[in-house]
C-alpha cells in the first residue's frame, strides 16, 4: 500500500514537527523502520526522523512518543493505516502518564519516608479508569494500552458525533485484527519483550463508551436532553468480531444485534450496581458491607454540594480533559496568526463564563466519581488562568478531601534541567506547557531539541483516604 510516495513526492522538507505514539502491540523496530522509510521517501533525503522525545521518554519507561515532520500526512501513511502508530501530541501523553504513573510526581527529598527513589509504573492490580470527556478517544487508547490487565476503562462524552469517532478509533486499535494486532500471540509476546520489563503488557482490558453528560454521569440526576447510554463495549465488540465470520448477516442486523446487546449489558450493569448499593457487594476485591458503608466510604458528596448517590462504582483514576477555548493548540494559534483569518476569538464574556462554569461542573463531577485514595488529572489545551488554575482552586477550596499532587516533567531522566517550554502554573505543582510558535511560513527561530508540543495545562489531584 504505497500511497505515500506519489502523494508527497514534491513536498519540501520542513523543521515543523508533530507527534506519534507507537502501538505497543506491534514490533517496535519494524514500526520505526517502516515509519522512517516513509518519512525519507516523503522528504526525499536522509534525516533523523522519527525523533524520540527526551523529556517524556525515559530509559526506565518508554512511552514511545516520536516527532515526525509536520507536513507528513499520517492519514496516507501505511504505518498509520495499519494501526502501528497513533497521532497524538506529547502534551496529551504527559497528561496520561501523570495520571497512571507517579514517576513525574515531585517528591520532597527532605521529607522522611518519602525518599526520591526510583518509582515503578502502575502495579499489576486492575484499575477502574474514567475519561469524563473522552472523545475522540486518543488519550483513552493510551490509557487502555498502559493500564494493567483486566482494568476497566470507561469513556464518556456528550457529543454523539464525537463519541462515534471514539468508537471507531477504539475499534481500529483494540478490536480490528488487521490494525490492532491483538489476535496474534506472537505479536503480543514481541510487544512484551519490547515494553518495559517491569510493566506487563496488558493482555486484555475492557473499554466502555457512554454517550452521556459528564456533569451528571453516574449519579441519580440525569440530563434529559442527553441519552444516557452505553454505546460501546469492547468485550461485546470482540465477541461480535470473532463470530462475524461464522454468520452471514447484513450490516443492518449486526447493528440491531449490537444495540440489543448493549442494552442488555447496561441493564445487567445497573442491576449489579444496584445490588452493590442496596445489599452490599464487592468492589475491586474490597468487600462492601452495607449501604451506608458504600455511600460514606466511597463518596464525597456533602462537601461538593451534591446530595445525589452514585449509580456506578467509583474510579481509581479519572481524567477530566475538558472542553476549552483551545488557545494553546498550535493549530489554533496559527489560524489566529494567519493574515487570511479575519475571525477573532469566538469566546465573548458570556460564553466564556458558561465555558468556565461547565469546566467547574466537570471537575466536581470527576472528583465525585473518584475513589478515596484515587488520583485525577484536570487538563486543558488552553493557557488561560480562568480555565486552569481558577477551576482547580475552586475544587481545592470547596472539597476538603482534595489535595494537589505536584508534578514536574523537567526534573527527570536525561534532561534533569529546566526546560524552557515547561512552566509551573500559578498553583505550585501544576504544569503549563508553552507551545512552540511557528511563523506564517511554517518556520521558527530555532528547533528545540527537546521537542515541545501544544500549549497545555495539567493538574494532578488526589482524594484523601478518609
Ligand X SMILES: C[S@@+](CC[C@H](N)C(=O)[O-])C[C@H]1O[C@@H](n2cnc3c(N)ncnc32)[C@H](O)[C@@H]1O
For residue 227, the tally of other CB atoms under 10 A from its CB is 13
For position 138 contacting ligand X by CB under 6 A, the verdict is yes
Rank residues 135 and 310 by Cβ distance to ligand X and give the closer one. 135
- Please pick, among 296, 381, 399, 449, the residue that the annotation labels catalytic: 381
Q: How far is the CB of 216 from ligand X (least distance, A)?
A: 8
Phi and psi, residue 429, nearest 5°: 95, -10
- At residue 263, the 3 state secondary structure works out as helix
Q: Report the residue number, 126 or 218, with the smaller CB distance to ligand X.
A: 218
**Does 321 show up as a binding residue in the annotation?**
yes
**The one among 83, 137, 314, 374 contacting ligand X by CB under 6 A:** 137
- 107 vs 165, beta carbon nearer ligand X: 165
User: Which residue, 42 or 457, has its beta carbon nearer to ligand X?
Assistant: 457
Q: Kindly state whether residue 327 participates in binding ligand X, applying the rule CB under 6 A.
A: no
CA 228, 231, 235, 236 torsion-angle sign: positive
**Which parts of 163-211 are beta strand (E)?**
206-211
User: Which 8-state DSSP code applies to residue 126?
Assistant: -
Say whether residue 92 binds ligand X (CB under 6 A): yes
- What is the rounded CA–CA span in Å between residue 149 and residue 160? 29
- Residue 106 sits at φ, ψ, to 5 deg, of -85, 120
Helix (H) or strand (E) holding 432: strand 431-433
With contacts defined by CB under 6 A, name the span among 39-47, 130-138, 285-293, 445-453 that binds ligand X. 130-138
Under rule CB under 6 A, which residues in 161-180 are in contact with ligand X?
162
User: Minimal distance in Å, beta carbon 155 to ligand X?
Assistant: 8
323 is a contact residue toward ligand X (CB under 6 A): yes
381 in catalytic set: yes
Give the three cell numbers for residue 125. 492490580
Nearest one of 462, 444, 461 to 452, comparing CA atoms:
444
190 binds ligand X (CB under 6 A): no
Q: Point out which span in 136-144, 145-153, 252-260, 269-277 binds ligand X (CB under 6 A).
A: 136-144
The strand ranges marked E within 84-197 are 85-87, 128-131, 152-157
Cβ-based nearer residue to ligand X, 34 or 362: 362
Taking the C-alpha atoms of residue 140 and residue 155, their distance in angstroms, rounded to an integer, is: 7
Question: Which residues are identified as catalytic?
Answer: 381
Interacting residue ranges for ligand X, rule: CB under 6 A = 92, 131, 133-139, 156-159, 162, 213-215, 321-323, 358
In the annotated binding site for S-adenosyl-L-methionine, the residues are 321
Amino acid at each position: 500500500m504505497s500511497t505515500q510516495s506519489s502523494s508527497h513526492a514534491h513536498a519540501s522538507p520542513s523543521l515543523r514537527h508533530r507527534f506519534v505514539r507507537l502501538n505497543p502491540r506491534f514490533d517496535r523496530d519494524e514500526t520505526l523502520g517502516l515509519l522512517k522509510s516513509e518519512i525519507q521517501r516523503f522528504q526525499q533525503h536522509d534525516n533523523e526522523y522519527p525523533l524520540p522525545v527526551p523529556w517524556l521518554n525515559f530509559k526506565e519507561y518508554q512511552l514511545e512518543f516520536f516527532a515526525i515532520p509536520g507536513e507528513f500526512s499520517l492519514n496516507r501513511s501505511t504505518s498509520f493505516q495499519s494501526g502501528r502508530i497513533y497521532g497524538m501530541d506529547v502534551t496529551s501523553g504527559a497528561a496520561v502518564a501523570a495520571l497512571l504513573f507517579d514517576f513525574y510526581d515531585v517528591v520532597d527529598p527532605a521529607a522522611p519516608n518519602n525518599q526520591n527513589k526510583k518509582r515503578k509504573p502502575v502495579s499489576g492490580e486492575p484499575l477502574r479508569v474514567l475519561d469524563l470527556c473522552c472523545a475522540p478517544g486518543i488519550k483513552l487508547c493510551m490509557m487502555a494500552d498502559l493500564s494493567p490487565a483486566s482494568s476497566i476503562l470507561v469513556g464518556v462524552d456528550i457529543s454523539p458525533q464525537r463519541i462515534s469517532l471514539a468508537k471507531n478509533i477504539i475499534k481500529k486499535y483494540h478490536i480490528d485484527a488487521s490494525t490492532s494486532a491483538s489476535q496474534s500471540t506472537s505479536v503480543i509476546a514481541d510487544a512484551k519483550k519490547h515494553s518495559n520489563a517491569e510493566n506487563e503488557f496488558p493482555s486484555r482490558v475492557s473499554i466502555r463508551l457512554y454517550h452521556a453528560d459528564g456533569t451528571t454521569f453516574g449519579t441519580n440526576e440525569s440530563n434529559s436532553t442527553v441519552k444516557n447510554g452505553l454505546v460501546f463495549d469492547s468485550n461485546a465488540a470482540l465477541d461480535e468480531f470473532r463470530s462475524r465470520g461464522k454468520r452471514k448477516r447484513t450490516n443492518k442486523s449486526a447493528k440491531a444485534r449490537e444495540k440489543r446487546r448493549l442494552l442488555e449489558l447496561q441493564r445487567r450493569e445497573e442491576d449489579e450496581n444496584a445490588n452493590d448499593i442496596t445489599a452490599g457487594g464487592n468492589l475491586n476485591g474490597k468487600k462492601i458491607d452495607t449501604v451506608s458503608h458504600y455511600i460514606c466510604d466511597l463518596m464525597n458528596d456533602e462537601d461538593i454540594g451534591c446530595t445525589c448517590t452514585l449509580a456506578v462504582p467509583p474510579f481509581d483514576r479519572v481524567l477530566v480533559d475538558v472542553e476549552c477555548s483551545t488557545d494553546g493548540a498550535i493549530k489554533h494559534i496559527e489560524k489566529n496568526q494567519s493574515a487570511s483569518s479575519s475571525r477573532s476569538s469566538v469566546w465573548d464574556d458570556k460564553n466564556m463564563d458558561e465555558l468556565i462554569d461547565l469546566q467547574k461542573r466537570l471537575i466536581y463531577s470527576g472528583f465525585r466519581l473518584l475513589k478515596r485514595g484515587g488520583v485525577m488529572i484536570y487538563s486543558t489545551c488552553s493557557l488561560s488562568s480562568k480555565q486552569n488554575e481558577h477551576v482547580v482552586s475552586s475544587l481545592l477550596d470547596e472539597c476538603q478531601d482534595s489535595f494537589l499532587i505536584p508534578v514536574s516533567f523537567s526534573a527527570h531522566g536525561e534532561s534533569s534541567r529546566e526546560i524552557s517550554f515547561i512552566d509551573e502554573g500559578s498553583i505550585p505543582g501544576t504544569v503549563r506547557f508553552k507551545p512552540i510558535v511557528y511563523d506564517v511560513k511554517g518556520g521558527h527561530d530555532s528547533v528545540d531539541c527537546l521537542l515541545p508540543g501544544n500549549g497545555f495545562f495539567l493538574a494532578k489531584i488526589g482524594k484523601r483516604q478518609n
